[in-house]
Amino acid sequence: MRKLLFIFIVLITLSCFSQNKQILYNFTSVPQSMLSNPGSDIKYNWFVGIPLLSGFSASVGSSGFSVYDLFADNGVDFNTKLRNVVFSTSRNDKVSLNEQLEIFSGGFKLGDWQKGSYFSFGMYQELDVLTYLPKDYAILALDGNQNYLGKVFDMGDLNAKGELLSVFHLGFHKNVSEKLIFGVRGKIYSSIFNISSTKNSGYFYTTQGTNSFYDQVISANVLVNTSGFLNYTDNYSGNVKSDIIKKTLLGGNLGLGVDLGLTYYPQKNIQFTASLVDIGFIKHSKEVESYRYKGFYKYVGIAPDFILGNSNDLIDEFNDAIPLDSLNVKYTTWRPVKFNSSIQYSFGDGRSSDCNCIGENENKYANSVGAQLFVMSAPRTPLMALTGYYRRQIFDSLEVKATYTIDSFSSKNIGLGLSSTIGKVNFYFLADNLLEYKDVSKANSLSFQLGLNIIFPDKNTPD
């Protein structure tokens, strides 16, 4: 039991990614910036992403420890390093995972009678994992309870969720006025696999009783919901690849979502943006199976270490008092909502007779400085990040963006983004936490994004 619990804890804490895309946000020479703000100020006649190559992103981070803390070749025993990590972190330390692959994408400006409007569409695959460090579970797995008389272990420390899904989206944005752009994007989610355990409660404690006896109490209400796995557990004879493709193409558990965004210019060189992304839900009704530990058990005995108890009678009593129930009930999950906002000041003459790679309000200025706020909903406390950035149009075909970000994972996150449009081919590469690349094992977070697009600029955009 302890070995299984230990393996589970290690596996979930080594999966650690973040969803903030601070370099891409408002980097409007890259069409994929519309995914983080459907109201972005872009000025393309139309664009098309090169299928499977237009957008890929991945990032890794942990607010509590790094790979180096566990696997450094420094002569310290691994068990000692593991204990140091467990006891130096808190239950509020979080790790998460996000990977995104764009399958296809495109967009075009509507006819002249509505030249201030834009239509975009696409599909992408996404993997999300979010977990808090289950510290009390880790202590029990490592030490048992013998040396923790009187300590109340919180069964609610188990708080994790993960999902593999595909997203079909359709977006529309409109130049409401010379100062205001508003955008909306509708989404259909198709969940391929889901696991969720976020509303657990209960406690476990051991106290010294009388006559050398110990009182040990467990009250548990732990629920793990899953969908998409059921058909593969027993005597599966189908084709996994075909099943996953079917679920990807709207054959999984379905849900709906919406993105909202705007860009506002109080002055020509001052810009304000804001967006809400993934306001949505998924209804899980196919291949659902849930596991629940719920009940109350009190044990009185001479052995203080209940976790190490190997009595068959004791195990039977525990299973009767707190049984593991398998349920097949529908459930709903909510997507993690992301809020972005930025303010930007532009300066310097950047106009060029043949510059066609950026928007009307931006191509008058060679430089921009700004700040961005990111907030993402989470089961306990929101994930937050604050970014300062500088953008520079170096050539007509090359734009760069440098960022400095403070978030839950790092206070020295320096990032750099490059966007190059040569002819009609746009290539971009974005990476953050550049200071950590000298030894990535010590990094608390890393991320990168890249892609290729074909862009047809708006020839009517004034220089």
Task: List, for residues 179-232, the tens digit of each pLDDT value.
Answer: 999 999 999 999 999 999 988 999 988 888 777 678 888 898 999 999 998 888
Residue 309 has phi, psi (to 5 degrees) of -60, 135
Residue 343 in contact with residue 368, Cβ under 8 Å?
A: no
Query: In sequence order, what DSSP letters do the residues of 178-245 get, joined into one string?
Result: SSEEEEEEEEEEEEEEEEEE---EEEEEEEE-STT-EEEEEEEEEEEEEES-GGGTSS--S-HHHHHH
Q: 450 or 412: whose pLDDT is higher?
A: 450
Q: Would you say residue 169 has pLDDT above 50?
A: yes
Work out the average pLDDT over 136-150: 83
* pLDDT tier, 361 (very low <50, low <70, confident <90, very high otherwise): very low
Distances (CA, A) of 356 to 16, 82, 375, 399, 444: 39, 54, 33, 12, 39
pLDDT in the model for residue 68: 63
Residue with tokens 């009609």: 424
Q: How far apart are CA 307 and CA 62, in angstroms?
A: 29
pTM for the whole structure = 0.85
Q: 331 or 356: whose pLDDT is higher?
A: 331
Work out the average pLDDT over 148-175: 91
Q: Which DSSP helix (H) or strand (E) runs through 44?
A: strand 44-49
DSSP category for residue 249: I
Question: 352: exposed, middle or buried (C-beta count within 10 Å: 0-12, 13-18, 19+)?
Answer: middle
Q: For residue 417, what are its two tokens?
A: 């983004």
Distances (CA, A) of 104 to 55, 111, 156, 169, 298: 9, 23, 40, 11, 57
Q: How far apart are CA 447 and CA 320, in angstroms?
A: 47
Whole-number percent of the chain with pLDDT over 90: 45
Report H helices in 72-173: 78-88, 135-143
Q: Would you say residue 18 has pLDDT above 90?
A: no
Task: List, for residues 389-421, the tens digit of each pLDDT value.
Answer: 999 999 888 999 999 999 877 788 899 999 999
Whole-number percent of the chain with pLDDT over 70: 83
Q: Which DSSP helix (H) or strand (E) runs through 315?
A: helix 312-321
* pLDDT tier, 13 (very low <50, low <70, confident <90, very high otherwise): very low
Count CB neighbours of 73 within 10 A: 7
Mean pLDDT of the chain: 83
> Could you tell me which CATH number the domain at 2-457 has?
2.40.160.40
Interstrand relation of 288-301 and 214-227 (parallel, antiparallel or unpaired): antiparallel
Query: In sequence order, what DSSP letters do the residues of 387-409 get, joined into one string?
Result: EEEEEEEEETTEEEEEEEEEESS
Question: 300: exposed, middle or buried (C-beta count within 10 Å: 0-12, 13-18, 19+)?
Answer: exposed
Q: Would you say residue 386 has pLDDT above 90?
A: yes
pLDDT in the model for residue 134: 85
Residue 372 in contact with residue 26, Cβ under 8 Å?
A: yes
Work out the average pLDDT over 102-123: 85
Q: Give the range among 53-62, 165-174, 285-294, 435-444 with minimum mean pLDDT.
A: 435-444
